[in-house]
Amino acid sequence: MDRMGSLRLAHLLLLICFITGCLRTVSLSAQQPHPVTSVQDTETPAQRDARMEWWRAARFGMFIHWGLYAVPGGVWEGKPSNGAGEWLMHDDKIPVADYQKLVSQFNPTQFNAHDWVALAKAAGMKYIVITSKHHDGFAMFDSQFGFKPNPFNIVSATPFKRDPLKELMVEAQKQGIKLGFYYSQDQDWTAPGGAAFGGHWDKAQDGDFANYLHTKAIPQLTELLTKYQPAIIWFDTPTADMTPQLASEIVTLTNKYPNLIWNNRLGGGYKGDTETPEQQIPPKGFPGQDWETCMTINDTWGFKTNDTSFKSTETLLHNLIDIASKGGNYLLNVGPDAHGIIPPDEADRLRAIGKWLDTNGEAIYGSGPTAFGDEDGAYSTTEKDKNGKPVWVSQWDWRSTTKPGKIYIEIFKWPNGAFHLDKVPGQIADAYLLADPAHKPLKITQKGSVADINLPQQPLDPLATVLVLETSH
Ligand code: H79
């Protein structure tokens, strides 16, 4: 756990809240079939494989949380908040009209779509998911809908007047990277009728949820899907308001885009395409399912001036490898500031990961999960959590990924002399280090499933050195 950065109380609360929200919707819908069948319900396994192919091979994506909340940056009336930057309005119970006034200060003139996309590419990321509208209801694109009588989007309401999502769409196409949109379909703290965890705090928020969906969320999702051709829609925080019937209206829309990938957070009992553990890596992943861990680099999603608890490059890279070894994707977040700058502490770490991937990407992209399975840790035989369940104790010596005929061992803790394996599937025909341009063969001693591979004294990369085993049966 400590390797993933401190799992703060707020994160825990966040998780519990999210799970309860989901459970309520799931139990509602368990009694009845979907009012509208989704693509996932009707496609064949082969069609699903084709639809998910690029996503499965991608392994690494960039999450971008950028919105009006970047202006206060986690500080309201001089008081820094403890929560995530994008939750400031909720945490401080800021009245709608006061929050709306931030628009006049939002002028991110240093935003450069080319540079953001180039950074994602330099990091070795294969897709970008950016907030098109977070819970605060502010749209980061040119929209005709929402917040009557005043428009509440970056083009109509700010001095900036530009459409960053359109600019990113153009750049993503140019530089060959997939682009997806996060859209908060359920919580909306500035639209009448939009949901708010824990309830509304301003009369301006009151209204009918179905009406909010019909006048804002569905029209805006339609705008996004028709004008920006996103590869992904990333829903979030479903509540009990999202009945199967209402969710099915959104599914009717997404069904029109048969290549679209969307996650398991729509609500209304729809499973979507992907499991989405947040701020954590499940010990064994989700075997046989598509899944993606989303995680912050520091402790916040949306920019916060005071949050400097950045995870180390080593931790972030080990997380990526850990996730790949369990068959998942890593959606790693950056929180650009109100000028449009991705914090250098975040960008630096991404570039360092990209440098490692330049050499070692073969072991990550398009790889399958581990050939082993015990190397990531074990449940403690003595320690129990507060629910009486054994505590998971992670091991961070090495991980494994696979491709047909190849086993990759990503070594974090360099052993003395030889790398030992005692459950090798098949016969090792060749062994070498991926970062060695000559792929010089390493001495193999194998007896049955037990093998030792002689290693040089020093790792080729202190972050992780990849040992490749070519196997035959
Ligand atoms: O977009 C990011 C988060 O803002 C969003 N999901 C990621 C991708 C997310 N937000 N909240 N949640 C998920 C769950 C919310 C938790 C809460 Fe709370 C716990 C709301 C009330 C208690 C956090 C802690 C906010 C206020 C206190």
Which tens digits make up the pLDDT trace of 340-385? 999 999 999 999 999 999 999 999 999 999 999 999 999 999 999 9
Task: Please state, in angstroms and rounded to a whole number, the distance separating the CA atoms of residues 144 and 209.
Answer: 19
Per-residue DSSP letters for 199-243?
Answer: --SSGGG-S-HHHHIIIIIHHHHHHHHHHH--SEEEE----TTS-
Task: Please state, in angstroms and rounded to a whole number, the distance separating the CA atoms of residues 107 and 94.
Answer: 21
Task: Please state, in angstroms and rounded to a whole number, the distance separating the CA atoms of residues 363 and 274.
Answer: 22
- 412 Cβ partners below 8 Å, 6+ apart? 318, 396, 397, 398, 399, 463, 464
Look up the pTM and report it: 0.93
| Closest of 277, 302, 303 to residue 289, by C-alpha | 277
Query: What number is the average pLDDT over the span 121-128?
Result: 98
Task: Please state, in angstroms and rounded to a whole number, the distance separating the CA atoms of residues 164 and 276.
Answer: 26
The answer, yes or no, to whether residue 277 has pLDDT greater than 90, is yes
Task: Please state, in angstroms and rounded to a whole number, the distance separating the CA atoms of residues 140 and 166.
Answer: 10
- Probe target for ligand 1 pocket from 8, 14, 135, with the most ligand atoms within 8 Å of CB: 14
The protein residue whose alpha carbon is closest to atom 26 in ligand 1 is 91
Atom of ligand 1 nearest to the CA of 198: 21
Ligand 1 mean position, distance from CA 99 (Å): 18
Task: Please state, in angstroms and rounded to a whole number, the distance separating the CA atoms of residues 169 and 140.
Answer: 13
Ligand 1 mean position, distance from CA 266 (Å): 15
Residues with CB under 6 A from ligand 1: 10, 13-14, 17-18, 83-84, 86-87, 90-91, 197-198, 236-237, 278, 294, 301
Q: Which amino acid is at 452?
A: D
Buried/exposed code over 287-296 (b: 16+ C-beta within 10 A; e: otherwise): eeebbbbbbb
Q: What is the pLDDT of residues 148-207, one digit of tens each?
A: 667 999 999 999 999 999 999 999 999 999 999 999 999 999 999 999 999 999 999 999
Query: What number is the average pLDDT over the span 85-102?
Result: 97
Determine the 3-state secondary structure of 76 from DSSP: strand
pLDDT at 8: 46
Ligand 1 mean position, distance from CA 14 (Å): 5
Task: Please state, in angstroms and rounded to a whole number, the distance separating the CA atoms of residues 464 and 116.
Answer: 26
pLDDT at 32: 55
Q: Which amino acid is at 144?
A: Q
The CB-side HSE value for 124 (13 A sphere, CA atoms) comes to 25
Q: Which residue has the tokens 């999502």?
A: 165
Atom of ligand 1 nearest to the CA of 21: 14
Percent of the chain with pLDDT over 90: 91
- Probe target for ligand 1 pocket from 7, 9, 11, 17, with the most ligand atoms within 8 Å of CB: 17
pLDDT at 148: 67
Atom of ligand 1 nearest to the CA of 87: 25
Dihedral in degrees, nearest 10, Cα atoms 379, 383, 384, 386: -130
| Closest of 203, 211, 175, 240 to residue 25, by C-alpha | 240
Atom of ligand 1 nearest to the CA of 234: 8
Task: Please state, in angstroms and rounded to a whole number, the distance separating the CA atoms of residues 21 and 19.
Answer: 5
What count of other Cβ atoms lies within 10 Å of the Cβ of residue 444?
17
CA 413: distance to chain centroid?
Answer: 27
